[in-house]
């Protein structure tokens, strides 16, 4: 899957990763995807919850080493 954008939120703690995702998604067209890198343990709960609440699609969620990777499609 090719991503339109990547947001590196590693090193940021709750609620900053979600706030930065929200801000970045505002500037994307509907249907665009955002790849998010995070390492905050709370993001495991916060990112899926944010997507449900905001109506965006959480395409995938994975972990590579210490980094969580989220692919979010703006609706």
- Residues recognised as catalytic: 14
Q: Rounded to an integer, what distance in angstroms lies between the CA atom of residue 3 and that of residue 6?
A: 7
Residues 42 and 70 sit within 8 Å (Cβ to Cβ) = no
Residues 32 and 73 sit within 8 Å (Cβ to Cβ) = yes
């Amino acid at each position: 899957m090719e991503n339109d954008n990547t947001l590196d939120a590693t090193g940021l703690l709750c609620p900053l990763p979600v706030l930065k995702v929200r801000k970045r998604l505002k500037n994307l067209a509907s249907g665009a995807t955002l790849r998010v890198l995070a390492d905050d343990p709370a993001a495991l709960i916060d990112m899926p919850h944010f997507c449900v609440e905001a109506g965006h699609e959480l395409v995938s969620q994975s972990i590579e080493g210490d980094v969580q990777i989220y692919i979010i499609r703006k609706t």
